[in-house]
């Protein structure tokens, strides 16, 4: 029992399993290093010393590059990745399946359809200012539709997933139709969005996303223990006094909101929500707070690295991060599928 500690203070008490947090700390350290690497590398690579001096002088030329270009963009990527990973973790708990993710459940395709519609019909008049709002409402709307369509005196994970896939296909067709019938320039910018990128992330973006992210995390924190219970059978969960349908609905809304805010600023980045939680589950076996934090940090690392690769590997091209998220995530995911199969 040594490894399970207890934290008690008056009426407040928590069980703490210390061991997995060591790993979380290590990964957190790695995330810090990734962040530094993202600041140092780019069209103008900086040696550690140069990076330090650039960080110290925000108004020098190099300082501007680091402070105004690289840092906000990297932080935006980290937040997007973290939010997607949290969303994926929640959905995998609620659906009781390691293959569930915002991509397979219609949430991302809702955001995509909304964003592509925005590009085709509204962007000309409104600019891209309201794009995040459109994407996030698309995501939430899709989640609500899936939930309502799957409702039949309660929802079950199976029906949710299948309905989500059906709606995904429908929305995918709508997206394609809009793409096909709009001019090529619109199609191209929509495509970059669909792939997912943190191009031109600036401080106001980071501020807004961070605010929403913090809000979502604040809501999520007290719900984590219910997310752990959501992985139980319905009968078992009822047996220990969980209001299964309420919990499921609340977690779904939360997951859709997280994915919604992430795609609002990062575009329809695939696979983060699938891969990061899964990786976290392998590093921290026991479901719990440590696993959640791990997933979030890994998601952040994944998108930061992908964006770094996107803007450094194919110079002078600056490629969308989504490409490299898929490139990193896909082999991993295929391995997962095949291992599950054998």
Partner 1 sequence: MTTISARRLTLGYQRRTILRDLSLDLPEGRISVLVGSNGCGKSTLLKALARLLDPWQGQVSLDGHDIRRRSTRAVARVLSLLPQHPVAPEGISVRQLVCLGRHPHQSWLSQWSEEDERRVDDALERTAMRDQAQRRVETLSGGQRQRAWIAMAVAQDTPLMLLDEPTSFLDLTHQMEVLELLKSLNREAGKTIVMVLHDLNLACRYADHIVAVRDGRVHAQGAPPAVITRERVREIFQLECRVIEDPFFHTPLCIPFGKQRDA
Partner 2 sequence: MSRRLLPLIAVLAGAVLLSLMAGARWLDPLTVGQALWAPSPTDVDALLVRTTRLSRTLVALAVGAALGVAGGIMQTLTRNPLASPGLLGINAGALFAVVVLVTLGGALPGWLANVGAFAGAALASLLVGWIAMRRPGESSPLRLILAGAALTALFQAFSQALLVIDQQGLDAVLFWLAGSVSGRPLADVWPLMLLALAALLACGPCLRPWNVLAAGEAVAIGAGVAVRRLQLVSIVLVVALAGSAVTMAGNIAFVGLIVPHVARRVSTPDHRHWLPVAALLGAILLLLADVAARTLILPGEVPIGVMTALVGAPVFMALLRRQGAAHG
Query: Site residues (CB under 8 A) for partner 2?
Result: 97, 99-101, 103-104, 149-150, 152, 156-159, 161-163, 165-170, 172-174, 176-177, 179-181, 184, 187-188, 191-192, 194-195, 270-271, 274, 314, 317, 319-320, 322-323, 325-327, 329-330, 333-334, 337-338, 340-342
Q: Which of 56-64, 78-86, 157-165, 238-246 is the region at the interface with partner 1 (rule: CB under 8 A)? A: 238-246
Residue 15 binds which of partner 1, partner 2, none (CB < 5-8 A, kind-dependent): partner 1
Residue 319 binds which of partner 1, partner 2, none (CB < 5-8 A, kind-dependent): partner 2
Instruction: Determine the straight-line distance between the first and last CA of the chain, rounded to whole angstroms.
Output: 34
CB of 296 to partner 1, least distance (A): 18
CA–CA separation, 83 vs 139, rounded Å? 14
Select from 36, 50, 64, 231 the one that contacts partner 1 (CB under 8 A).
Answer: 231
CA–CA separation, 205 vs 207, rounded Å? 5
Binding mask 295-314 for partner 1 (x = CB under 8 A): --------------------
Nearer CB in complex with partner 1: 11/183: 11
Residue 281 within binding range of partner 1, rule CB under 8 A: yes
Residue 337 within binding range of partner 1, rule CB under 8 A: no
Nearer CB in complex with partner 1: 23/96: 96
From the CA atom positions of the chain, what is the Rg in Å? 21
Select from 184, 235, 317, 341 the one that contacts partner 1 (CB under 8 A).
Answer: 235
CB of 161 to partner 2, least distance (A): 6
Binding mask 239-278 for partner 1 (x = CB under 8 A): xxxxx-----------------------------------
Query: In this structure, what DSSP letter does residue 9 have?
Result: E
Q: Which residues of 304-337 are buried (b: 16+ CB within 10 A; e: fewer)?
A: bbbbbbbbbeeeeebbbbbbbbbebbeeebeebe
Cα–Cα nearest to 135, from 157, 103, 102, 113: 113
Check: CB of residue 100 under 8 Å from CB of residue 92: yes
Check: CB of residue 139 under 8 Å from CB of residue 107: yes
What DSSP letter does each residue of 50-114 carry, written as one string? HHHHHHH-TTSHHHHIIIIIIHHHHHHHHHHHHHHHHHHHHHHHHHT-TT--TTTTTHHHHHHHH
Nearer CB in complex with partner 1: 1/180: 1
Select from 222, 339, 340, 341 the one that contacts partner 1 (CB under 8 A).
Answer: 222
In the region spanning residues 6 to 25, those forming contacts with partner 1, defined by CB under 8 A, are 6-8, 11-15
| Phi-psi label, residue 284: left if phi above 0, alpha if psi -120 to 50, beta otherwise | beta
Cα–Cα nearest to 74, from 128, 34, 108: 34
Residue 127 binds which of partner 2, partner 1, none (CB < 5-8 A, kind-dependent): none
Q: Which of 101-109, 115-123, 202-210, 281-289 is the region at the interface with partner 1 (rule: CB under 8 A)? A: 281-289
Nearer CB in complex with partner 1: 242/319: 242
What is the SS3 assignment for 272-340? HHHHHHHHHHHHCCCCCHHHHHHHHHHHHHHHHHHHHHHHHCCCCCCCCHHHHHHHHHHHHHHHHHHHH
Secondary structure class of 14 (helix, strand, coil): strand
To the nearest 10°, the Cα dihedral for 277, 282, 284, 288? 50
Nearer CB in complex with partner 1: 43/285: 285
* Binding footprint of partner 1 on the chain (CB under 8 A): 1, 4, 6-8, 11-15, 93, 96, 98, 222, 225, 228-229, 231-236, 238-243, 281, 285-288
């Amino acid at each position: 029992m040594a490894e399970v500690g207890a934290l008690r203070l008056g009426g407040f008490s928590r069980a703490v399993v210390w061991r997995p947090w060591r790993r979380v700390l290590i990964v957190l350290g790695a995330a810090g290093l990734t962040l530094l690497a993202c600041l140092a590398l780019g069209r103008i690579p900086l040696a550690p010393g140069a990076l330090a001096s650039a960080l110290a002088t925000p108004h020098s030329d190099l300082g501007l590059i680091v402070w105004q270009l690289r840092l906000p963009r990297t932080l935006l990527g980290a937040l997007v990745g973290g939010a997607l990973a949290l969303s994926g973790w929640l959905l995998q708990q609620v659906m009781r399946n390691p293959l569930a993710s915002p991509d397979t459940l219609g949430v991302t395709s809702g955001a995509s359809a909304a964003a592509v519609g925005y590009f085709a019909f509204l962007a000309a008049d409104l600019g891209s200012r309201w794009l995040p709002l459109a994407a996030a409402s698309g995501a939430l709307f899709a989640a609500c539709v899936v939930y309502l369509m799957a409702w039949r005196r309660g929802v079950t994970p199976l029906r949710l997933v299948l309905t989500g896939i059906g709606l995904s296909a429908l929305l995918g067709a709508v997206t394609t139709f809009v793409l096909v019938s709009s001019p090529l320039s619109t199609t191209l910018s929509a495509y970059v969005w669909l792939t997912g990128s943190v191009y031109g992330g600036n401080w106001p973006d980071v501020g807004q996303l961070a605010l929403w992210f913090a809000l979502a995390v604040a809501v999520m924190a007290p719900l984590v223990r219910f997310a752990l219970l959501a992985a139980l059978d319905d009968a078992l969960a009822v047996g220990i006094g969980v209001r299964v349908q309420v919990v499921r609905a609340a977690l779904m809304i939360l997951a859709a909101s997280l994915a919604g805010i992430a795609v609002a600023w990062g575009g329809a980045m695939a696979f983060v929500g699938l891969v990061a939680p899964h990786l976290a589950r392998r590093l921290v076996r026991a479901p719990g707070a440590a696993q959640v934090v791990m997933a979030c940090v890994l998601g952040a690392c994944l998108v930061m690295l992908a964006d770094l690769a996107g803007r450094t590997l194919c110079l002078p091209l600056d490629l969308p991060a989504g490409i490299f998220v898929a490139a990193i995530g896909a082999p991993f995911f295929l391995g997962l599928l095949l291992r599950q199969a054998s």
